[in-house]
Structure 1
Amino acid sequence: MTGFPKKYLLIAAFLISQGLVSILGGLAFASVPGGNIIFPGVFISGMKVGGLTADQAAALLGKNRDKLQTENIVLQYQEKTWLYSLNKLGITFDIRATVDKALLEGKSGSSIRKVLEMFRIRYSKPNFPLEYNLDEAKFNSALKEIAGEINVQPVNAAIVSERGKVRLVPEGEGISLNIAVAMEQVREAIRKSGNVPVKLQVAQAMPHIKASDLKGINRVIGAGITAFSSSDKERADNIYLAVKMLNGTIIPPGQVFSFNTMVGPRVREQGYRSAPVLVNGRLAEGTGGGVCQVATTLYEAALYSGLAIKERHPHSSPPAYIGPGLDAAVVYGEMDLKFLNNTDTPIYISAIVADGRVNVKLFGAGNPGESVQMVTENGNDDENMRSERSYVRVYRIFYNYGAEARRELVSEDYYLKGIIIK
């Protein structure tokens, strides 16, 4: 039997392929939905929108908007569970943006590609999540409510003195809800269908002060105490705030402590209030009045601790809460109280307010038998002395088992007479 010539076979194959292209092309034009109709088989958030126009799909979603907005996201941490509606989380759906995205499914490429996409969509039934807008402030507010139930604040290591004995209180780790991760988890939950609980993640919250930071501390090396009137509420509030900023401070060996750096500026934004302060020998209202008393109490403790004083300023008139020559005036950016930890171990500052008194203790590692005494001399023999001013000289005497080892002149101050700071 004589076969067909090869060239006829090639012509036949070409004609068949062209026929198939024509058939597929015809199917494409006959079956592929128009530009404003969503491909059959497409779903949005579980709702069938395939075959609908964009407006019809938007209307269908609009009818279910309120129901969708009130759907709950389940948030979990260990045994605790919280239910929050999407609306309470600040999530609002963007129906038009969602429909526009669904409308584009399968519409790109050639006519043949569109036919293939049509078959794929019919069988895969893609389900588009609703596009949404997020009010981050509202979202963060909701998560902060949860954080308030989850978070555990870390506890700093501390030194306490009880019945003359020094005891180290070890640190404790805390936990903190990772809000940034929680936000992404909720986003992912919205994108998925079903009400799968979001398992919240936490991070460890480490204390600032660890027991290892206080190694070598074994006793109180110096203390200061001053009294104030709690009836002056504004001044008392300023004292409480400054003491809070000071308490728990660690001064490593060889480091200079700065009161202004640690306590910070005395401004309303930091919570300080207007109270009487001394300005050029006269009492006037000023923000942060009372903070000088905290600095003075700390100065007294530093003196008895034997620490090297690097900067200290007297008031223009002697305050009533401490003897002349033992006060310390501070003005942020102008006058500071600074002293050096000239020991071989850290120094821990304990500062509290109780029963109308500021109590500051410095903990460190002192040597047995060492003690410090302060001696104040009032003089009027200075050639520059004027009748309206008083002159005070302060010495610090170091003792070793009761015998004087050395003494040093700490300060020489002039005060205006007749004005007492209470």
Structure 2
Amino acid sequence: MKKIHLSLIATATILLIGSLLFGWFHLYVNQPTIPKGVQVAGWHVGGMQTDDVLKQLNNKLTQLEHLPVRYEAEHQNIPDLVFTLSEAGVRYEADTFREAIAQLQEGSWLARISNRWNFQPNWTITSHLDTGLLKSKLNPAWEKQYFGPIIDASRRISEKDQIIYTPEISASRLDWNKLLRNLTSIIPKDFTLITNAQITASPLTLQLPVIIKRPIVTVNSLKKEGIERKITEFSTSLFSSSPGRIFNVNSAAQAVNGMIIKPGEEFDYSKVIKQAETKYGFQEAPVIINGKLAPGIGGGICQVSSTIYHAAILTGMEIVERRNHSIPVSYLPLGQDATFASGSINFRFKNNTGKYLLIHATVQENMLTVKFYGTFREDTQYLIESITVETLPASNKYVQNATLAVGSQEVLQDGKTGYIVETFQVKKVKGVVVDKKRISRDTYRPQSRLIAVHPDVNNKGMAPSPPAKSIVEDGVRGPDL
């Protein structure tokens, strides 16, 4: 009997102890409070209700983000600025602490007991900075308004061809690297500035660090380009030109005016024409098609290329591509012109001076004037000499006319003589000829005598001439294009 009683007592004792332990574990695991001795960023939360802590945590993080920051600029005529941390791009979070609290309420009993028993006492909050928000407020327009504009140095040519420089203007600009470092250093790392759920009266203060920003283009950088003086000038006449032709010449001249050619860079007249047509347009004026003048658009543009070619020869530039007109022009001697035909004929030269080259081109009082400014030896001079080495007689060109009598003919257009011309560049140093070289051998085709004949195969030697391939020179479009 005694053994039975002892067994019952032992069993009851074990059940009681188990019940007590189960009750204790249940109460321990399901506590609605934060473990004692815990603090978050200096805020003591041990023993507080978990829901209250999470709610207050949200409020405190929001209050931190709404802390005002005064931005002060020393020695600058700028009013103090006040942005909250949130407006400056600062955001706070305490995700690690929130996850730890969640683990107190989730998982198995053993895991929850372990998490509560090992719950660490000290937790931090984390700040994140989005630099774009502050930069959008203190943007370049704001900097320009309060610090002033940064202005490049400029260069202009006076009426007397003097090179005149206007100095650059520097101005302060925010030192963003230092500003962001300073902002990061004053961002609160805890809740000590939050007292009784109220924001402290004194805002955070941050100096606006500035640096002096200098423009890219300075007087020194401009002078290093080597545009020292006018090195040549050449003009051609427009006195016999129609209003449309003068307009076209002026359009091309405006596209050239102010162009700067870097050392070793090529001047490309096809690019000039594209720019002129897009920006200024061209009018109707005679163009050259198959050795004859015909109505077209852009007539006269080759007077600009020819005038520039002449100036390039006078300064010893390297001619990369150039061809003479198919017929003589009135504004330059034979052998000294440069024609252009879109997609077929171009004019290019390379700046071989070792310095920058500035081109000015203007139309005034029926004169086209081209000036080169750059670096050129004052004791050196280039001259141009052109010699006609052969005269080419005009040939006959026949067209059919059924109204004429068989065997008869009618001269519709007189022919013109053609020429073969050789042009030489003469180099003088201190007035003495040191070099003379041929730079071109040009052919100006004769213009055929145009004769009408009856379409009779018996007209020996008078068969109609085959049509020539049409190339529009000295313009951009012909009458049918």
Question: What TM-score, normalized to structure 1?
Answer: 0.55
Match of 2:438 among 396, 401, 409: 409
**Percent sequence identity over aligned pairs:** 13
For residues 297 and 182 of structure 1, do their structure 2 counterparts lie closer, same or farther at Cα, with a shift above 3 Å needed?
A: farther
AA matched with 2:149: I
1:33 has 2:61 as partner: no
CA distance in 1 between partners of 2:82 and 2:248 (Å): 44
For residues 161 and 40 of structure 1, do their structure 2 counterparts lie closer, same or farther at Cα, with a shift above 3 Å needed?
A: closer
1:223 has 2:233 as partner: yes
The equivalent of 1:361 in structure 2 is: 372
Aligned-pair CA distance for 1:152: 1.9
CA distance in 2 between partners of 1:306 and 1:400 (Å): 13
Cα pair 1:44 1:128 within 8 Å, conserved: no
Aligned-pair CA distance for 1:260: 1.8
The equivalent of 2:419 in structure 1 is: 391
> What is the number of residues matched between the two proteins?
351
Aligned-pair CA distance for 1:174: 5.7
CA distance in 1 between partners of 2:146 and 2:445 (Å): 54
The equivalent of 1:244 in structure 2 is: 258
Question: What TM-score, normalized to structure 2?
Answer: 0.50
For residues 146 and 138 of structure 1, do their structure 2 counterparts lie closer, same or farther at Cα, with a shift above 3 Å needed?
A: same
Aligned-pair CA distance for 1:207: 3.5
CA distance in 2 between partners of 1:332 and 1:177 (Å): 50
The equivalent of 2:60 in structure 1 is: 42
Secondary structure of the 1:338 match is strand
The equivalent of 1:275 in structure 2 is: 282
CA distance in 2 between partners of 1:273 and 1:224 (Å): 24
Secondary structure of the 2:439 match is strand
Aligned-pair CA distance for 1:391: 3.1
The equivalent of 2:97 in structure 1 is: 106
CA distance in 1 between partners of 2:255 and 2:314 (Å): 24
Cα pair 1:235 1:273 within 8 Å, conserved: no
Secondary structure of the 1:37 match is helix
For residues 237 and 400 of structure 1, do their structure 2 counterparts lie closer, same or farther at Cα, with a shift above 3 Å needed?
A: closer
AA matched with 1:391: Y
Secondary structure of the 2:313 match is helix
Secondary structure of the 2:78 match is strand
1:214 has 2:233 as partner: no
In the alignment, structure 1 segments of 5+ residues that lack a partner are 1-14, 49-67
The equivalent of 2:349 in structure 1 is: 338
Aligned-pair CA distance for 1:366: 3.1
Q: What do residues 151-203 of structure 1 show as CA deviations (whole Å, max 9, x unaligned)?
A: 121447x999968xxx8878956648879x75995898699675746445454
- Cα RMSD over matched residues? 6.0
CA distance in 1 between partners of 2:60 and 2:95 (Å): 11
Cα pair 1:389 1:416 within 8 Å, conserved: yes
Cα pair 2:341 2:474 within 8 Å, conserved: no
For residues 145 and 205 of structure 1, do their structure 2 counterparts lie closer, same or farther at Cα, with a shift above 3 Å needed?
A: closer
Secondary structure of the 1:360 match is strand
The equivalent of 1:79 in structure 2 is: 76
CA distance in 1 between partners of 2:137 and 2:80 (Å): 15
The higher radius of gyration belongs to 2
Cα pair 1:318 1:421 within 8 Å, conserved: no
CA distance in 2 between partners of 1:290 and 1:140 (Å): 50
For residues 25 and 391 of structure 1, do their structure 2 counterparts lie closer, same or farther at Cα, with a shift above 3 Å needed?
A: farther
The equivalent of 1:149 in structure 2 is: 148
Aligned-pair CA distance for 1:269: 11
For residues 340 and 104 of structure 1, do their structure 2 counterparts lie closer, same or farther at Cα, with a shift above 3 Å needed?
A: closer
For residues 103 and 146 of structure 1, do their structure 2 counterparts lie closer, same or farther at Cα, with a shift above 3 Å needed?
A: same
In the alignment, structure 2 segments of 5+ residues that lack a partner are 1-20, 36-47, 105-115, 188-202, 397-414, 449-471, 476-481
